[in-house]
């Protein structure tokens, strides 16, 4: 798969494309339905599937106060799209200029001139162009004179919940990582570089990798979780090359020690030999184990951590 930063990065001899457009933050099951349609069409017609996405999230430019935190980094999004069979991802830098393009300008510059769109696959609620003036109907009208067909995809629901990035963000923020995983079709992931903590973990018998998590990341509620520490990210072509290690994850201020900063840390089960400092790693959240507690002392905390680790082992089996 190819990743293009901006329209200028598209090869000059690029031919026709099946195009899908959206932020696709999370690449959740609703997004997968849209991308799946584009990839199926691509396989049937032998025309490559291209996803056009935006970075930063358009709301960060249009209404910063209302901008959501991100479920996925751009590199992770691209890798997930690659896993779905997309041939190329074009990342458009969303800024005031792009936001000012009328629906016609957007269609001409991006779909017609840059990508030679043959088919455009979007969610039925897709909006585009200045002040979100364009909808699926206008897109189809513009396509009729520019040689592309529009395929709207119905929104996916289950048990009354529409799969949406907002739904997933809310579940993660409440610590409901199992519900988030069902909507995503995989565990929610938090990424960061491993930094030094308080050098206490080894003494407790549980060294933990402390992640420096970028602001604007959707971090699960304080608590203890079962999950995976993933090495070999970022990658932005596919998830191939990742290795997963079983982990007991703690999020919280470590109240037993009167900590103030919120930590995101993970103990890799049965390992003491790892050196993860300065490495970019990911944590995949599989299940919630319990709330964070303030223990009377170190012995009580360690006794509970022993039980946590056994529970994590069972949950990941
Ligand atoms: C599985 C697990 C459960 C934890 N549970 C708690 C807890 O309930 N309360 C708490 O204060 N700290 C908890 N911690 C965090 C420890 O206090 C922390 O890992 C320890 O202080 C080491 O910190 P350091 O990595 O900064 O050296 C937990 C850590 C792990 C790995
Ligand atoms: N099983 C393990 N899980 C996580 N980190 C480990 C493990 N074994 C060794 N390490 C290393 O030890 C470091 C954590 O040691 P620790 O004593 O908790 O100190 P600090 O939290 O101050 O970094 C991790 O960043 C990692 O490099």
Whose CA is closest to 46, among 76, 87, 8, 5?
87
Q: Residue 75 in 3-state DSSP?
A: helix
Confidence of residue 163 (pLDDT cuts 50, 70, 90): confident
Identify the residue with better confidence: 163 or 32. Answer: 32
H/E element, 62: helix 58-62
* Residue range 203-223: mean pLDDT, rounded: 96
pLDDT, averaged across the chain = 95
Q: Which CATH class is domain 2-155?
A: alpha beta
Q: What fold is seen in the domain 188-316?
A: Elongation Factor Tu (Ef-tu); domain 3 (2.40.30)
Percent pLDDT > 70 in the chain is 99
Q: Best substitution site from 196, 274, 308 to test ligand 2's pocket, by max atoms within 8 Å of Cβ?
A: 274
Q: Ligand 1 centroid to 250 CA: how many Å?
A: 6
CA distances from 149 to 57, 61, 135, 139 (A): 27, 30, 14, 9
Q: Which ligand is closest in space to the CA of residue 292?
A: 1
For residues 98 and 8, what is the distance between their CA atoms, to the nearest angstrom? 14
How far, rounded to the nearest angstrom, does the alpha carbon of residue 137 sit from its chain's CA centroid?
A: 29
Identify the residue with better confidence: 44 or 155. Answer: 44
* Residue range 164-183: mean pLDDT, rounded: 96
* 102 Cβ below 6 A of ligand 1: no
For residue 83, the model assigns a pLDDT of 95
For residues 268 and 245, what is the distance between their CA atoms, to the nearest angstrom? 6
User: Residue 44: CA atoms inside 13 Å, Cβ hemisphere, count?
Assistant: 9
Domain edges within the chain: 2-155, 188-316
- State pLDDT tens for residues 17-27: 999 999 999 99
- Per-residue tokens: 169: 């963000």
For ligand 1, atom 19, the nearest C-alpha belongs to 201
* Residue range 195-203: mean pLDDT, rounded: 93
For residues 301 and 151, what is the distance between their CA atoms, to the nearest angstrom? 56
* 246 Cβ below 6 A of ligand 2: no
For residue 155, the model assigns a pLDDT of 82
- State pLDDT tens for residues 249-267: 999 999 999 999 999 999 9
* 296 Cβ below 6 A of ligand 1: no
Confidence of residue 235 (pLDDT cuts 50, 70, 90): low
For residues 154 and 26, what is the distance between their CA atoms, to the nearest angstrom? 18
* Residue range 166-195: mean pLDDT, rounded: 97
* Residue range 41-45: mean pLDDT, rounded: 98
Q: At what angle do helices 165-173 and 177-184 cross, to 10 degrees?
A: 160
* Residue range 43-55: mean pLDDT, rounded: 98
Q: Best substitution site from 201, 265, 267, 273 to test ligand 2's pocket, by max atoms within 8 Å of Cβ?
A: 201
For residues 58 and 282, what is the distance between their CA atoms, to the nearest angstrom? 25
- Per-residue tokens: 100: 């000012």
pLDDT at 162 > cutoff 70? yes
For residue 241, the model assigns a pLDDT of 85
* 308 Cβ below 6 A of ligand 1: yes
For residue 141, the model assigns a pLDDT of 98
For residues 140 and 119, what is the distance between their CA atoms, to the nearest angstrom? 10
2-155 and 188-316 in the same fold = no
Rg of the chain over Cα atoms, rounded to whole angstroms, equals 22
CA distances from 286 to 25, 77, 166, 184, 226 (A): 19, 19, 19, 12, 6
Total length of the chain = 317
pLDDT at 236 > cutoff 70? no
For residue 157, the model assigns a pLDDT of 74
Confidence of residue 5 (pLDDT cuts 50, 70, 90): very high
Q: What predicted TM-score, i.e. pTM, was given to this entire model?
A: 0.94
């Amino acid at each position: 798969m190819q990743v293009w930063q901006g329209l200028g990065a598209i090869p000059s001899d690029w031919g026709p494309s099946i195009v899908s457009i959206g932020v696709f933050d999370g690449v959740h099951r609703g997004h997968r339905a849209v991308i799946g349609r584009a990839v199926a069409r691509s396989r049937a017609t032998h025309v490559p599937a291209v996803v056009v996405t935006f970075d930063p999230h358009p709301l960060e430019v249009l209404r910063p106060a209302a901008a959501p935190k991100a479920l996925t980094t751009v590199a992770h999004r691209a890798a997930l799209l690659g896993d779905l069979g997309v041939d190329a991802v074009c990342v458009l830098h969303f800024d005031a200029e792009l936001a000012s393009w009328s629906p016609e300008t957007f269609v001409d510059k991006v779909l017609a001139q840059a990508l030679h769109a043959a088919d455009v696959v979007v969610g039925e609620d897709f909006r585009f162009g200045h002040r979100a003036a364009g909808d699926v109907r206008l897109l189809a009208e513009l396509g009729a004179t520019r040689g592309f067909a529009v395929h709207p995809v119905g929104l996916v629901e289950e048990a009354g919940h529409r799969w949406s990035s907002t739904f997933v963000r809310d579940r993660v923020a409440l610590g409901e990582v199992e519900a988030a995983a069902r909507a995503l079709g995989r565990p929610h992931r938090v990424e960061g570089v491993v930094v030094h903590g308080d050098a206490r973990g080894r003494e407790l018998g549980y060294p933990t990798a402390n992640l420096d998590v970028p602001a604007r990341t959707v971090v699960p509620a304080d608590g203890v979780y079962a999950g995976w520490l993933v090495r070999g990210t970022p990658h932005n072509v596919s998830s191939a090359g990742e290795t997963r290690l079983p982990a007991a994850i703690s999020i919280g201020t470590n109240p037993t020690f009167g900590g103030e900063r919120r930590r995101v840390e993970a103990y890799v089960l049965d390992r003491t030999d790892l050196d993860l400092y300065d490495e970019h790693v990911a944590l995949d959240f599989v299940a919630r184990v319990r709330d964070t507690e303030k223990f009377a002392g170190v012995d009580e905390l360690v006794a509970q951590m022993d039980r946590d680790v056994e529970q994590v082992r069972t949950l990941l089996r």
